[in-house]
Every structure is written in C-alpha cells, then in structure tokens.
Chains A and B, each alone.
Chain A
C-alpha cells in the first residue's frame, strides 16, 4: 500500500523583493512511498532535496501537483489540504526532523524530547531510554540544548522526532554530525520504526547511512528527479 503518492509536483518561489522573480526549486516530481519503506533522497546541495521534503510537510506551499497521503482517516492531498487538517496530521501521524534543532530556550533536553508527547512520568521514562541509547551523557539531560554541541543537539532532535512513532517520518541528514557508533544507533532506531510500519523519507549525503537504511533512493538534479532506483544501483553507478 502506498502511504504517499507525489504527482507532478512543482515548486517555484516568487520573490517580490526582486520584482516577482521566479526561482524554480522543483519541477514535475513523481514518486511514491509504500508502507514501511525507507526512501533515501540524494543530490547535490541546492538540487531540491530539502524543498521536496518541505513540500511534503507543507512548510513549502507546492505551486502545482498533488501529494496524496493515505492518512488513517482517508486519503488527503497535502498540497491543497486546509491548514487545520495538516496541523491535525502533524500532531498524530507525520513528523519532520530538520537538520538543525529548534527549541524554546531554557527547556531541558529531556523535556524537549517529550515536547510532542507531554511530560508525564511515562513520557519522561521513554525519553530517558532513548537518550540513553543515543549515548547522551545523563548529566546533560536536565541542561538546555542551546549550549550543546552539534552532535548532542542532533541526538535530541532525532529522539524528539521518533519518540511518538510517526506513520511518516521526514528526516533531514539524521547522521551528519554523529560519530560512527551513534550513527549506527540512529540507523537501528529508524529501522525499528520501519519494522513498526513507519515510512521514511531520508535526506543524506552519507553513503554508509543510505546503504544501511534505504530500500531505494531518489536522486535529484536541478529540481528534477533523475533517478528512482534501488540503492545498490546508485552505489554501482557511482563506483
């Protein structure tokens, strides 16, 4: 079953400050994600990977095309759904994990991880378990993440995104600033989610991560999808 079907998706930014200049970020993208599938999104910087992910999350308003999402309560076009419907899906099914952690200042690391699931004892216990697995030193759990290193922030970010076990996870460079063993933990955690039925769209430049995680990869160039291939083929073509 397909969870997401993207059809003829295009995105252009109209910059009023530059007299209405159009910047074409994505052009006529087509692909689908099935239940429990992990799709890697590859391409050079500026090729449109983040734009595509942000269109699916509706942070960017698509210019044309459709993003059909099979929610628990029926199929909905994320490209045109009313805002309140998108908000409801974000609260219950779809989670986006950006490259950089964004938090309210002076909220502890543990509470940041619990942000979307409440601060009950049970939630905190789950958060502790995750942070422990991700190897975040316990003395940092009650500290404020703003002051953390890039790798520590990334662990918080990943933990917050996966704790509620979303149906669709959109994750941008989840392993970029992590050491090898933490990277493996993140990969394991995402695999566990997939076994539970979560579908994942994952941007990464890291072949190690994609090799272990992705069922297939979409390759973007200049805002167009140039390949929709199994990961092994991508590795072959690069070598």
Chain B
C-alpha cells in the first residue's frame, strides 16, 4: 500500500535559532525555548506517514506543537524546515511545502479539508451556512449554481443541520451546529485528506458525542484519511487508528492508538495515560 502523505523533519521555529537550538530544546531539555537565543521551537523533526483512509491522532498537552503540525501542512503557517509529499499532488513527487502560493491554494481547495476548533476560523460569518459550503465548492472549480445548492443541501442534511437553515448566518447557530456546518464545508470537495484541530473542545458532552459519531461515520463512508489533533485522550481513542504523542515540539512515541493507551512505552505517555479520568 502506498502512502497518502509523507512528512519528514517538519520544523517550525519562531525567532532566530542558534547553532544548538534543536539540541537544547525538546522533551529531554524539558523546554521548547532555546536557552541561547530564546527562539521558540513549536515543533521539530516531525516525521510520519499516513495511509489512505487511515485516521491518525496527534495528542499532547497545550504547547506541545500538535496544532502547529496540521497548520503547517494546511499552509496556515510557513515551515522553517522539512518536507511533505501528498500522493494526489503530482503523484507525490513534489514537496507540497515548496509549492507556489497558487499551487498551495489548489492543494487546499481540491485535496484537503480543515475543521478548526473555533468555527470562526473555518467559516465566514458574513456568509450563510449554504454560502460557506458554496464558497468551498466554487474554490474547487464548481460553477453550476443549481448543483452547488443541491450539494450544499445534501451536505447540510448529511451533517444533521436542518436544510431550511441553509440561508441563515452561522452566528444564529449553536456551537455544535456551527461545527457541523464547518465539517460540511470541509468535506464539500471530497478531499482525500481532512485535518481536525480540537473540533470537540468547548462543546458540551452531548453535542460532542454527536459530532464524534458524525466524523467517524463520514470517515467510514467516504474513506477520507484524517489527522485528528486533540488533547483529549477519549476523542483520540474513539476516532483514531494510530497516534503520535508530542511533547515540547517533538514526537515522543507513536503506535496503534489502543497500544498507546494500554501499553505506553515512553515515560511521558505513561504519565499522560495514567492521568486519564
């Protein structure tokens, strides 16, 4: 089986790194701030493969760099170092992080979807819920207004948003509903790869359960590969096949999700799992 996404040595440093910045930061050093230059290493040397249809979790405490990884891959931030190859883009022969602005827009619009923790980051609050989905579809090359509307209403229905609210602004929706509109928008272009960044954080438990079930059902139905970022081990347990554990910007352990949760190898993961309520 060939990989869908290959990520190698992905690194993001804020500020000027010194010669020893990478050695003097990370889990062993117990910090991600370089003592020499005060550069902040958000993530460093992050490497992993993702296979088609696989769900990968990234877990770690606040500031561990997990969100940075997906933001770099979705081009919300510029990497400092590292490469990523996405199979459907030039058959995986070209580093997507090296692509031009125009190519990056193409990759985002056609090959990726993103669901943010805060619906305000993923939705345009000046557009209606249907308008938000239409925006994504137009970006992905759809032109026929009737068909766009049809697809938008299908997606809203699929994500359990009442279709009659298609012409309402997201600001009039509840948090859970906004999140479902965001999911509908993110999958509108049938992307092979979807990023989910803390999508259930801040939702109350009953809404959280419905959103998790929706994500899992869509994943199974559409076979989308996903990278799920969460600090919540229960979310990781319910959604993902495989997990990366991050601390101070580095991957400290990776493995099958049930193995990470029941037979963690690294001292930090053992501590994290034993803190689970």
Contacts and interface: CB of A to CB of B under 8 A. Distances in A.
Q: Which of A13, A14, A58, A83 has the most CB of B within 10 A?
A: A83
B151 interface: no
Contact of B1 (A16, A61, A88, A102): A88
Given A87-B54, A106-B206, A106-B210, A61 B263 contact: yes
B6 interface: no
Nearest to A144: B209
A105 B209 contact: yes
B232 interface: no
Contacts of B209: 104-107
B2 to A, nearest CB: 11
Contacts of B212: 104
Given A61-B255, A104-B238, A119-B217, A17 B274 contact: yes
A233 interface: no
A16 B274 CA distance: 12
Contact of A58 (B49, B205, B221, B259): B259
Nearest to A96: B258
Contacts of B271: 16-17
Contact of B255 (A13, A16, A83, A106): A83
Contacts of B203: none
Contact of B258 (A17, A59, A119): A59
Contacts of A72: none
Interface string A159-187: 00000000000000000000000000000
A87 B241 contact: yes
Contacts of A57: 258
Interface string A79-122: 00001101110000000000000101111000000000011000
Contacts of A1: none
Interface in B226-277: 237-238, 241-242, 254-256, 258-259, 262-263, 265-267, 270-271, 274
Contact of B256 (A86, A105, A106): A86
B221 A118 contact: yes
A196 to B, nearest CB: 24
A61 B265 contact: yes
B127 interface: no
Which of B1, B206, B256, B262 counts the most A-chain CB atoms under 10 A from its CB?
B256
A59 to B, nearest CB: 5
Contacts of B54: 84, 87
Nearest to A51: B263
B256 A87 contact: yes
Contacts of A83: 241-242, 254-256
Interface in A1-44: 13-17
Contact of B220 (A86, A106, A118): A118
Contacts of A105: 205-206, 209
Interface in A205-238: none
Interface string B87-105: 0000000000000000000
Interface of A: 13-17, 54, 57-61, 83-84, 86-88, 102, 104-107, 118-119
10 contacts: A13-B263, A17-B270, A54-B263, A59-B263, A60-B259, A84-B54, A102-B237, A104-B212, A104-B213, A107-B213
Q: Which 9 A-B pairs have the closest CB atoms?
A: A16-B267, A105-B209, A106-B209, A60-B263, A59-B258, A84-B51, A87-B241, A104-B213, A107-B213
Given A16-B271, A61-B265, 5 more contacts: A61-B259, A83-B256, A87-B242, A105-B209, A106-B210
